[in-house]
């Protein structure tokens, strides 16, 4: 097991069991990309509207700004996985369109396993600067293999939740309320709230707020002033936006 943090990457080999569970795999979203590779465990993984029962060797790609969580049963076997966290800038431009359009779930074609096995060897035998270089090389190789081997087997997409998510993404700079969602989908506000919470484990308005903050973060990192980004996504009060932003983008410096 290891947890390697160096520069702009955070790679780890982790294991949880019934006597030492963690909460890190519960519902959240963030501004960086993440890859999870399952070694063993009884795990159902959800990324936005897609849910899959993972099998050993499966890989999950979580693009920046995608809400995700795992439902883990630790009673019968430990939850062992590799977790790679890295900024979007490390994904080559020619791979982004393909990776972001694919299902977030990938089955191991044989190449993934060898890549992750090598990570443990690097930690044990090389200096941190060397490990960082080698990890970046393996990440680039992994992204290429993922782009070539995407598949959609054993995946369960909730079409209604998917429509809500697509609506939020396409109206992210507009005012989105329960009333506007009810009008757009011709369902009652209570039905939308209940269905969204049941599948996503988070209130729909909290999800929308988080999406807006992450969209504002992308605008800020691309040069927009903080106050303009807050206004762009519909925050009337800048101090409210600032507090929510700092809380969500934890560990990141707030651009000046």
Provide the residue ranges of all domains of the chain, joining segments of one domain with +.
2-155, 158-248
Structure confidence by residue, pLDDT tens digits, 15-67: 998 877 666 667 788 889 999 999 999 999 999 988 999 999 999 999 998 99
Superfamily of domain 158-248: Homeodomain-like (1.10.10.60)
pLDDT of residue 133: 95
Band of pLDDT at residue 5, cut at 50, 70 and 90? very high
Q: List C-alpha distances in Å: 36 to 45, 195, 204.
A: 10, 27, 25
- List residues bridging with 7 in a β-sheet: none
Proportion of the chain above pLDDT 90, given as a percent: 55
Contact call for residues 52 and 45 (beta carbons, < 8 A): yes
CB 77 within 8 Å of CB 54: no
Average pLDDT over residues 115-129: 93
What pLDDT, on a 0 to 100 scale, did the predictor assign at position 91?
A: 93
* Rounded CA separation 74/1 (Å): 18
Please check the confidence at residue 109 and state whether its pLDDT lies above 70: no
C-alpha dist (Å) from residue 95 to 30, 101, 118, 171, 215: 20, 10, 23, 26, 21
Which homologous superfamily is 2-155 in?
Regulatory protein AraC (2.60.120.280)
* Residue 252 reports pLDDT greater than 80: no
158-248 has the same fold as 2-155: no
79-93, pLDDT tens digit by residue? Answer: 999 999 999 999 998
- Taking all residues of the chain, what is their mean pLDDT, rounded to a whole number? 87
Phi/psi region, residue 6 (left: phi>0; alpha: psi -120 to 50; beta: rest), is beta
Q: Report which of 205, 105, 104, 214 is spatially closest to residue 164, judged by C-alpha positions.
A: 205
For residue 244, the model assigns a pLDDT of 85
Q: What is the pLDDT of residue 199?
A: 87
Q: Across 101-115, 157-171, 177-191, 233-247, which has the greatest mean pLDDT? A: 177-191
Q: What is the mean pLDDT of residues 61-74?
A: 92
């Amino acid at each position: 097991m290891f947890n390697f943090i160096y520069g702009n990457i955070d790679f780890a080999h982790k294991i949880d069991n019934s006597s030492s569970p963690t909460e890190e795999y519960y519902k959240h979203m963030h501004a960086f990309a993440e890859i999870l590779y399952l070694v063993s465990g009884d795990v159902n993984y959800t990324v936005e509207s897609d849910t899959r029962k993972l099998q050993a060797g499966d890989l999950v790609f979580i693009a920046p700004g995608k809400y995700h969580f795992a439902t883990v049963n630790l009673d019968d076997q430990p939850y062992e996985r590799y977790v790679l966290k890295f900024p979007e800038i490390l994904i080559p431009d020619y791979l982004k369109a393909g990776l972001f359009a694919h299902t977030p779930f990938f089955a191991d074609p044989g190449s993934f396993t060898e890549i992750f096995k090598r990570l443990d060897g690097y930690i044990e035998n090389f200096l941190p600067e060397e490990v960082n270089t080698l990890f970046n090389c393996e990440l680039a190789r992994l992204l290429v293999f993922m782009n070539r081997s995407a598949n959609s087997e054993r995946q369960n997409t909730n079409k209604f939740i998917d429509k809500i998510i697509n609506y939020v993404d396409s109206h992210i700079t507009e005012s989105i309320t329960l009333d506007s969602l009810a009008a757009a989908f011709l369902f009652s506000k209570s039905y939308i709230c209940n269905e969204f919470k049941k599948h996503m484990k988070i209130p729909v308005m909290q999800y929308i707020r988080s999406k807006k903050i992450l969209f504002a973060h992308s605008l800020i990192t691309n040069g927009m002033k903080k106050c303009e980004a807050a206004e762009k996504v519909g925050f009337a009060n800048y101090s409210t936006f600032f507090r929510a932003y700092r809380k969500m983008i934890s560990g990141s410096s707030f651009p000046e």
